[in-house]
Chain A
Amino acid sequence: QKEVEQDPGPLSVPEGAIVSLNCTYSNSAFQYFMWYRQYSRKGPELLMYTYSSGNKEDGRFTAQVDKSSKYISLFIRDSQPSDSATYLCAMGSIYNQGGKLIFGQGTELSVKP
């Protein structure tokens, strides 16, 4: 079993829909959580970074962390065709500074006009 599990999709939604992307993890040492967006053959682009349970909002994006359930989510409001990409969750341990991020498998999102 992978340390981080993410539904690979693909997920297809109409423009304007609310998108929910989710990851679960098993390692309770993970303390910081990130969401990346990756367009085809490009480098992952950091979207959101959180380190505590609760919600963090940035424009149309909301990151949610529930450490008790080991579950994180990314919500995209008013989705746009330009949001079509693969979304990767990633997490790491603050006790391993300078160490690796563990990624989920990525969810491929397609937003249809």
Chain B
Amino acid sequence: AAGVIQSPRHLIKEKRETATLKCYPIPRHDTVYWYQQGPGQDPQFLISFYEKMQSDKGSIPDRFSAQQFSDYHSELNMSSLELGDSALYFCASSLAHRGNPEAFFGQGTRLTVV
């Protein structure tokens, strides 16, 4: 079965640079979530989208923005990168608005800021 696809898998950026992470949800899933997971930490919710509209917002820095496109893929844009942004970034998708809130995660993008 198709899973959530994230790209790139690994990304190295310098401080103050910009990064773009991409997420392709499971086909027909209507909700996309972004999470940030630091070393030894639990995933922290950043933002979610339902049908291309933002549905919930967590602890996402103002330097970050995200959107969901007409083909349902989503992108997380991160600007003015800081060392503390180094983490695993996960995308998840679900059919939350169809009464199926089970969220399925991608394999993540490991971002390293140097």
Query: Interface residues, chain A, CB within 8 Å of chain B?
Result: 32, 34, 36, 41-46, 49, 88, 90, 92, 94, 96-106
Contacts and interface: CB of A to CB of B under 8 A. Distances in A.
A104 B42 CA distance: 7
B24 interface: no
B33 A101 contact: yes
Nearest to B94: A98
A45 B103 CA distance: 9
Contact of A99 (B56, B88, B108): B56
B96 A103 contact: no
A100 B45 contact: yes
- SS class, residues of chain B in contact with chain A: strand
Contacts of B90: 43-44
Contacts of A32: 101
Chain B interface residue count: which class? 20 to 34
Nearest to B100: A49
B43 A41 contact: no
B107 interface: yes
Nearest to B41: A105
B102 interface: yes
B55 interface: yes
13 contacts: A34-B102, A36-B105, A41-B88, A41-B108, A42-B108, A96-B56, A97-B96, A98-B55, A99-B48, A99-B55, A99-B56, A100-B33, A101-B45
Contact of A44 (B31, B96, B105): B105
